[in-house]
């Protein structure tokens, strides 16, 4: 029986309410968490809870002495100074979150916090799984980002006074991209996710066209597996974070490389970078739609690889990073991104190795300024890597200012030396 708190009018049903809400070992309801589960939630916070905001009218299912319910008019209760714990009915989650977020606008935004324990056993079996517990998590994140401001993760232009969150790809969508008239919040499925739900898989058409090229490139089974993994992984990346499918653009390929290195590797490792570059470029050159950009993509991937690649012992290479405006020399590692044609906002760096490289043929590498939807900045990633990482046995890349600023073709530059030491 669904004995939600809002359906119980008064104290007459105290015994029935207590019996129905007390969790038993084989009872999969979540009307009252076991005491040990509640304490584990409490331990996740620095401050103790002061108020249960989602109790029944008589507080039978509350673990706190102070509680509020729907009957008490919780939405009219000020939350200033309170550390509220609430486990409301699923239908009322939106009302509770709106109440908290509106109160948040009048407080110091650095004080409140939201903790979601999705790894707990009770999360997956609770009524919050309607439609899913994961979608509840996405709704909370979406609401917070909506209230604090942001851009639509599909068009990257429309501000978010309202928000719709796609249950499939987790992207926050504006009213136009969602295709529905949403209020403050709504859970929808974007067009791409509807196609996937109907049985279509991103990249199938491109995979068919790539079979011949992949077989021609196959020299041994391990190489073939790398290529196939690259196709599968970038298909997932495009569908999940870019809202597109194969064939990919040059910008998407570079974004995928940054995503793979940042999210899949604890440390930047040259062999891993090589694997991703090879796995992507091997099939990317077969796509007719990006033939004009293939040379640029291959060059970008090679330079991106060389930045982290191991030179011979005691060798050194100079990296010149170009700036739009004169940099602040008091900060040794500052990167200001410049635009470069179709690639958009990218860092353009010139890499020169040792004396065996012809100085009259500078080689360039490109790195995306940021990857939309992921909050990743490969530029900052490179800066942190070359500054923070240590020097293990065998040598590791690090950077230091080489000297005063120069000027090439009217663009202020700063030269940085990349050294290898045993």
The number of angstroms, rounded, from the C-alpha of 351 to the middle of its chain's C-alpha atoms is 30
Q: Quick one: 260 and 304 in the same domain?
A: yes
Asked if 150 and 286 sit in the same domain, the reply is: no
Q: Are residues 184 and 219 in the same domain?
A: no
Residues 284 and 406 in one domain: yes
**In this structure, are 78 and 158 located in the same domain?**
no
Helices (H) and strands (E) in the chain, counts: 13, 12
Q: Which of 96, 129, 162 is the last residue of a domain?
A: 129
Per-residue pLDDT of the chain (422 residues; tens, 9 = 90+): 334 444 444 445 555 555 555 444 433 334 566 777 788 777 767 678 888 887 877 777 788 888 887 777 666 767 677 788 887 766 676 677 667 666 655 544 433 344 343 334 333 333 333 333 344 444 444 444 444 455 666 666 655 545 566 655 556 677 677 766 544 445 566 665 565 555 544 443 433 333 333 334 444 455 555 555 656 666 677 777 776 665 555 556 656 665 665 555 444 344 444 444 444 443 333 333 322 333 333 333 333 333 333 333 443 333 334 333 333 333 333 333 333 333 333 344 443 333 333 334 333 334 444 544 445 554 455 444 444 433 222 222 222 222 333 322 232 333 333 333 22
Whether 181 and 175 have beta carbons less than 8 Å apart is answered as yes
Q: Are residue 125 and residue 43 in the same domain, yes or no?
A: yes
Shared domain for 184 and 110, answered yes or no, is: no
Which residue is associated with the tokens 């011979």?
312
Question: Taking Cα atoms as reference points, which of 373, 371, 354 lies closest to residue 363?
Answer: 354
Q: In terms of domains, do 44 and 62 share one?
A: yes
Residues 6+ apart with CB under 8 A from 210: 231, 283, 286, 287
E strands of 23-177, at which residues? 51-52, 84-85, 163-166, 172-173
Which pTM value belongs to this model?
Answer: 0.27
Q: Which domain holds residue 103?
A: 5-129
Same domain (yes/no): 328, 290: yes
What is the count of structural domains for the chain? Answer: 3
Q: For 240, which DSSP code? A: I
Q: Are 263 and 296 within one domain?
A: yes
């Amino acid at each position: 029986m669904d004995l939600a708190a809002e359906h119980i009018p008064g104290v007459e049903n105290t015994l029935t309410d207590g019996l129905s809400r007390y969790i038993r070992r084989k009872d999969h309801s979540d009307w009252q968490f076991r005491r040990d589960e509640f304490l584990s939630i409490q331990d996740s916070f620095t401050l103790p809870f002061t108020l249960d905001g989602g109790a029944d009218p008589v507080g039978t299912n509350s673990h706190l002495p102070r509680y509020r319910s729907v009957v008490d008019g919780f939405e009219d209760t000020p939350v200033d100074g309170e550390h509220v714990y609430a486990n409301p009915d699923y239908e009322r989650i939106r009302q509770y979150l709106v109440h908290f977020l509106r109160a948040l606008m009048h407080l110091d935004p650095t004080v409140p916090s939201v903790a979601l324990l999705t790894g707990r056993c009770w999360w997956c079996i609770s009524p919050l799984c309607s439609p899913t517990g994961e979608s509840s998590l996405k709704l909370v994140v979406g609401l917070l980002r909506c209230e604090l401001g942001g851009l639509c993760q599909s068009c990257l232009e429309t501000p978010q006074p309202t928000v719709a969150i796609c249950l499939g790809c987790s992207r926050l969508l504006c009213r136009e991209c969602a295709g529905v008239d949403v209020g403050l919040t709504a859970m929808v499925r974007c067009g791409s996710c509807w196609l996937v739900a109907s049985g279509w898989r991103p990249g199938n058409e491109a995979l068919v066209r790539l079979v011949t090229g992949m077989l021609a490139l196959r020299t041994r089974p391990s190489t073939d597996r790398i290529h196939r993994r690259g196709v599968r992984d970038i298909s997932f990346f495009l569908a999940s974070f870019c809202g597109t499918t194969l064939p990919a653009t040059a910008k998407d390929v570079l974004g995928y490389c940054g995503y793979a290195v940042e999210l899949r590797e604890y440390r930047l490792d040259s062999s891993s970078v090589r694997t991703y570059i090879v796995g992507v470029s091997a099939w990317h050159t077969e796509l007719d739609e990006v033939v004009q950009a293939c040379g640029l993509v291959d060059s970008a991937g090679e330079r991106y690889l060389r930045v982290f690649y191991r030179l011979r012992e005691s060798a050194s290479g100079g990296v010149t990073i170009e700036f739009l405006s004169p940099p602040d020399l008091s900060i040794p590692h500052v990167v200001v991104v410049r635009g470069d044609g179709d690639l958009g906002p990218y860092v353009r760096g010139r890499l020169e190795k040792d004396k065996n490289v012809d100085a009259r043929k500078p080689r360039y590498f490109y790195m995306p300024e940021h990857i939309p939807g992921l909050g990743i900045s490969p530029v900052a990633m490179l800066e942190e890597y070359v500054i923070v990482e240590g020097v293990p046995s065998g040598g590791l890349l690090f950077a230091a200012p080489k000297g005063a600023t120069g000027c090439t073709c009217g663009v202020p530059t700063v030269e940085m030396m990349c050294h290898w030491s045993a």
